[in-house]
Chains A and B, each alone.
Chain A
């Protein structure tokens, strides 16, 4: 095998990486812009106590944004835990058991993966409005007691779109599962419950973790489903940013993006290192 690489391939590769990173570099550089309108870079900002980090400090004082950040984390954490548990159970059921209605469970689990997200978003909006309308009129709820869209509906919707992906990932892990290990545990008089906790779960755990990570990412990034199912008190960061894009943007938004990118970079690096360490063992 020749080790020589085509210079054309290297050139194209470099161009694609530039394409991937140009927007990110622009986002970060403009977080230090002294111009409030942020169209042209007019030099590094140096204002107030924070100096070049002026926009980052402004960010911390922005109540709406802090609330949106908190909502995003609450939604992501809650929906990740719930969808990981439900998705893992589903993967076990579909991969290892035969039961009536299995085909239905399987198909309903695959639909969200093959339809555009907007279809699910619109469906959830229609469902919640119909359900809440019915409950509110039946029980005569009014004022603050009325059921309405908000953080709760967002969390429920995120669970719904994450579960299929968790199930898919865990099933992939179960496919390579060596059943002899479980049988050995049973032969050694472990009951099914003990076998599951001491043998099965530790083996499929990497799959469960990747599923959870995927669910967390999907939830953090989600715009479409959240857009249709959110209401008062349920604004997440993507929804907040979308609102800004339609009105006015300042370097504050770039500061937010910069913090986001740095956190993501650190978390990804750490998970890579952890992955490498567990591979070494």
Chain B
């Protein structure tokens, strides 16, 4: 057992600052070269202008940002790119809310299960997460396409009742993108929610029951407030990647669902307009950071919920 005042009894030797510098050197170099410098280049490029032969003219103007806002030509307001930004935010919001609604009952179920069973139920949540991200997108094509699994099942069910059935147009669609996003990121919400819910002691529920609280009141006055740190942590883990994922909309959304991730990818690889792509990247980064900061300020940062 630790003795709390041991630090005063035996004065620990002051740690050598050179050791600290040496230990931190590799990581600082790595992150500077591979993260900070690239971010600075992108920031600078976003104020540049596209030149001939993939060159960039550095004349520091705001044209790329004005183009994103759709006001680069006087008198015309082109909302194409604004719509993409709003659509991405809206999809990320919808996905996060749905993930919370779908994940909460499951996290609650696992947290209230007998202690010995909890690991097993959590294990079942993790297995799908370990199959590859891209392969999971493929699975949803198989389920949602016109003659796919879901339509076959529905057709069979309709047949049982002697009903006519026309296959639903589910792929490609906005709906397919949303379902797949919820599927991909569900475990990221369940794990931190479970961690928060598991910490609530049985005695609290007993106390609530003794004081005459019904199920509804117990949930809203005890369970929900205490699970909030887990929801906050899960929201951050879900919202950020959904904002930047382009493969789900690329594969499942056909040509209809273009998100800011797709916009960025096309500017860098297909359209070869990296200065405009850089502006979009900066906007995406600022948007995510702003939403995350606002959210954590409002509900408190849930570092403890990441601990597990």
* A-to-B contact residues, CB < 8 Å: 1-2, 5-6, 9-10, 12-13, 16-17, 19-24, 26-27, 30, 38-40, 86-87, 89-90, 92-94, 96-102, 104-105, 108-109, 111-112, 114-120, 122-127, 130, 156-157, 159-160, 163-164, 167-168, 172, 178-180, 183, 186-187, 217, 220-221, 223-224, 227-228, 237-238, 241-242, 245-246, 249, 253, 256-257, 260-261, 264-265, 268, 272
A residues less than 8 Å from B20 (CB atoms): 93, 96-99, 102
Q: Which of B135-194 contact A (CB under 8 A)?
A: 135-143, 145, 147-149, 152, 183, 186
Q: Give the shortest distance, in Å, between A204 (CB) and chain B (any CB).
A: 14
**Number of B residues contacting the other chain (C-beta, 8 Å)?**
95
B residues less than 8 Å from A256 (CB atoms): 135
Annotate B251-271 by CB proximity to A: 1 below 8 A, 0 otherwise: 100000000010011001000
- 19 more A-B residue pairs beyond the given contacts A118-B265, A123-B41, A257-B131, with a C-beta to C-beta distance below 8 A: A1-B202, A9-B108, A19-B102, A27-B131, A92-B23, A97-B19, A105-B31, A109-B31, A111-B35, A111-B39, A116-B241, A118-B281, A183-B10, A186-B13, A241-B134, A245-B251, A246-B251, A264-B130, A268-B123
Which chain B residue has the least Cβ–Cβ distance from A108? Answer: B31
Cross-chain contact B41 with A130 (CB below 8 angstroms): yes
Cross-chain contact A183 with B6 (CB below 8 angstroms): yes
Cross-chain contact B142 with A26 (CB below 8 angstroms): yes
Cross-chain contact A241 with B138 (CB below 8 angstroms): yes
A residues less than 8 Å from B241 (CB atoms): 116-117
CA distance A220 to B135 in the complex (A): 12
Cross-chain contact B34 with A20 (CB below 8 angstroms): no
- Per DSSP, chain A at the interface is helix
Which chain B residue has the least Cβ–Cβ distance from A110? Answer: B31
CA distance A127 to B137 in the complex (A): 30
Flag whether B205 is at the interface (Cβ < 8 A): yes
Residue from B127, B205, B284 having most chain A Cβ neighbours under 10 A: B127
B residues less than 8 Å from A116 (CB atoms): 240-241, 243-245, 261, 284-285, 288
Flag whether B225 is at the interface (Cβ < 8 A): no
Cross-chain contact A1 with B268 (CB below 8 angstroms): no
Cross-chain contact B36 with A268 (CB below 8 angstroms): no
Cross-chain contact B41 with A126 (CB below 8 angstroms): yes
- Can you report 7 A-B residue pairs in the complex whose CB atoms are below 8 A from each other? A9-B109, A38-B142, A99-B21, A118-B281, A160-B30, A168-B306, A241-B134
Cross-chain contact B128 with A24 (CB below 8 angstroms): yes
A residues less than 8 Å from B33 (CB atoms): 127
CA distance A122 to B43 in the complex (A): 12
A residues less than 8 Å from B139 (CB atoms): 23-24, 26-27, 257
B residues less than 8 Å from A101 (CB atoms): 21, 24, 28
Q: Which of B203-227 contact A (CB under 8 A)?
A: 205-206, 209, 215
- Per DSSP, chain B at the interface is helix
Q: Give the shortest distance, in Å, between A268 (CB) and chain B (any CB).
A: 7
CA distance A222 to B102 in the complex (A): 25
Residue from A16, A92, A187 having most chain B Cβ neighbours under 10 A: A16
CA distance A256 to B285 in the complex (A): 35
Q: Give the shortest distance, in Å, between B252 (CB) and chain A (any CB).
A: 10
Which chain A residue has the least Cβ–Cβ distance from B239? Answer: A116
Flag whether B45 is at the interface (Cβ < 8 A): yes
CA distance A245 to B274 in the complex (A): 26
> A108-B35, A223-B134 known; A119 and B285 CB under 8 Å?
yes
CA distance A274 to B136 in the complex (A): 28
Cross-chain contact A253 with B288 (CB below 8 angstroms): no
> A126-B41, A221-B132, A241-B138 known; A109 and B268 CB under 8 Å?
no
List 3 A-B pairs, minimum CB-CB distance, nearest first: A116-B244, A97-B20, A123-B38
CA distance A241 to B27 in the complex (A): 32
Cross-chain contact B24 with A90 (CB below 8 angstroms): yes
CA distance A232 to B102 in the complex (A): 42
Cross-chain contact B128 with A21 (CB below 8 angstroms): yes
Q: Give the shortest distance, in Å, between B92 (CB) and chain A (any CB).
A: 10
Among the listed A96, A180, A221, which residue makes an inter-chain contact with B3, where contact means beta carbons less than 8 Å apart? Answer: A180
Cross-chain contact A30 with B142 (CB below 8 angstroms): yes
Cross-chain contact A183 with B12 (CB below 8 angstroms): yes
Cross-chain contact B132 with A238 (CB below 8 angstroms): yes
